[in-house]
Amino acid sequence: MNPALPPVTTRPFNQDYLVLARESRGLTQTELAERVSISQSLLSKLEHGTLPASSEQAQCFARELHYPVGFFYRKSEPLTDRVALFRRYSSVSAMLLRRVRAHLELMKANLSRLLDACEPIEIKVETIEPEETEGGAFGVAHECRRRWQVPTGPIHNLTALVESLGCFVVAYDFATRKIDGFSDVVNGHPVIFLNRALGRSRLRFTLAHELGHLVMHRLRHVEAEEQAHNFASEFLMPAEEIKPSFLPMSIDRLARLKLYWRVSMQALLKHAQNLGVISERTARYYWSEINRRGYRENEPFENMIPAETPSSLKRLIEMFVSDLGLSLQELADRLTLHLNEFLEVFDLESQNFSTRVLQFPSA
C-alpha cells in the first residue's frame, strides 16, 4: 500500500461536483436555487462553470446538500457512462435514474481514490467476445467455468467466486426495487453494485448477469442485455447438467430446483423455456400459475437459500484503518463525506466498526 491516502487539497470550486451533489439529493435546479436563495439562472451558470462560486455560496451548498465544503473542491475523476448496462425496469423515472447515477458516480470516484493508494490487485476477468465464441453467450459461460475451475453442479457461493476473480462486489442502496444492479470498471478494477433490497435468488442471478457484462461487453449494444441474461442462466445452471431435471414440470419441481441451484423459480422456468425443454403452451401455464400465486414479487423459500455477503469493499477499508492507522472519521474526511454517509454508502453501518482496527474472516 502507498504511504497514505492523499488528502483533498485546496482547489478551485468544482462545478461537476455541484451537479452530482444536487442530483444525488434528488433536487432540480429550481429547488436548490430556492433553498440557497439564488436564481435558477445563476445556479445554471455556476453548474456550467461560466461563473465561479464564492466561498459563501459553497458554504450554502454544503449546508443544503449535506456534504462537507471540501466536497465541492475535489479534483474531477473521469466519470464513465454505462447507464445502458443497468439491470433495471423500464418504468424507472428519469429523475430517480439521475439520482442513482449521481450516487454511483460519487461511489466510483471514492473507490477510485482508495484504489489509487493500494497495491495492484490481481484481476482474472478477461474479455471474451460472444460473437467470436461457439455458442455465443452460452459458450462464454462454459469457457468461464472452465477457466475459473468451477466444479460441476450449483455454485454455492457466487459472491466469493466473483470476488476471488478480483472484482469488487458492493451491496448498494438504490432507493428503489426497480434497479437490480450495475457494473463498471474503476481504475481497471471490475465493480458490481447489487441492490441490497434484492431477494437472495435474484441477487445471485443479477450478480451473474453483471459478471456477464464485464466479461463480454466493452461497449453498449442492443443485444447486450439478452447476452448477459443467457450468460447468467448458463453460468449458474449449465444446460447439460440441468435439462434432465426439469421434467415432469411442476411448481413443486421448480421449488426444489430453486433450493438446489439457488436461483429463482422464474429464472428456472425461463431457462427451461429457452432450452426448449417445455412447450410454449406449458410455459404459459406455469407463468400464469406464478402470477396467480403472487410469486412474481414474493417467491417462496428465499430464506432457505444461504445469504452471500460481499467482503471485498470492507477488506479495502480495513487496509486503510489497520495499515495506515486512519480512524473511520479520518477516512471519511479524506473522501469528503460526513461519517454517517460514509458508513452508509460503504455498507459499514450494520457492522461493528467502532474500533480503529477492523477484523474480517479469512476468504
pLDDT in tens, 204-221: 999 999 999 999 998 878
Question: What is the pLDDT averaged over residues 349-363?
Answer: 41
Reading the block at residue 132, the C-alpha cell is: 467470436
pLDDT in tens, 261-318: 999 999 999 999 999 999 999 999 999 999 999 999 899 999 999 999 999 999 999 9
Which of the residue ranges 89-93, 108-112, 158-162 would you say has the lowest mean pLDDT?
A: 89-93
Model confidence band, residue 28 (pLDDT cutoffs 50, 70, 90):
very high
Q: Are 335 and 342 in contact (CB under 8 A)?
A: yes
Amino acid, single-letter form, for residue 69: V
pLDDT of residue 301: 97
- Beta-strand pair 179-186/189-195: antiparallel
pLDDT of residue 220: 75
Q: Which residue has the higher pLDDT, 346 or 42?
A: 42
Q: Are 79 and 24 in contact (CB under 8 A)?
A: no
Model confidence band, residue 83 (pLDDT cutoffs 50, 70, 90):
very low
Q: Where are the alpha helices (DSSP H) in the chain?
A: 15-24, 29-35, 40-48, 55-65, 94-116, 136-147, 158-164, 200-216, 224-236, 239-242, 251-261, 265-274, 280-292, 312-323, 328-334, 339-345
Question: What is the pLDDT averaged over residues 172-187?
Answer: 89
pLDDT of residue 82: 43
Cis preceding-peptide flag for 248 (omega within 30 of 0): yes
Q: In what order do the strands lie in the sheet with 168-172?
A: 87-88, 179-186, 189-195, 168-172
Question: What is the pLDDT averaged over residues 99-116?
Answer: 91
In the chain the domains, ranked by start, together with CATH numbers, are 15-76 (1.10.260.40), 98-304 (no CATH), 311-363 (no CATH)
Contacts made by residues 297-304, CB under 8 angstroms, sequence distance 24+ = 299/199, 299/201, 299/258, 299/264, 299/265, 299/266, 300/255, 301/255, 301/258, 301/259, 302/199, 302/200, 302/201, 303/200, 304/259
> Comparing C-alpha atoms, which of 125, 213, 206, 221 is closest to residue 159?
206
pLDDT-above-90 percentage for the chain: 74
pLDDT at 94 over 90: no
Reading the block at residue 167, the C-alpha cell is: 472484482
Q: Are 216 and 132 in contact (CB under 8 A)?
A: no
- Beta-strand pair 168-172/189-195: parallel
Question: What is the pLDDT averaged over residues 120-145?
Answer: 95
pLDDT at 9 over 70: no
pLDDT at 354 over 50: no
Helix (H, G, I), strand (E, B) or coil at 186: strand
pLDDT at 203 over 70: yes
Question: What is the total residue count of the chain?
Answer: 363
pLDDT averaged over every residue in the chain: 89
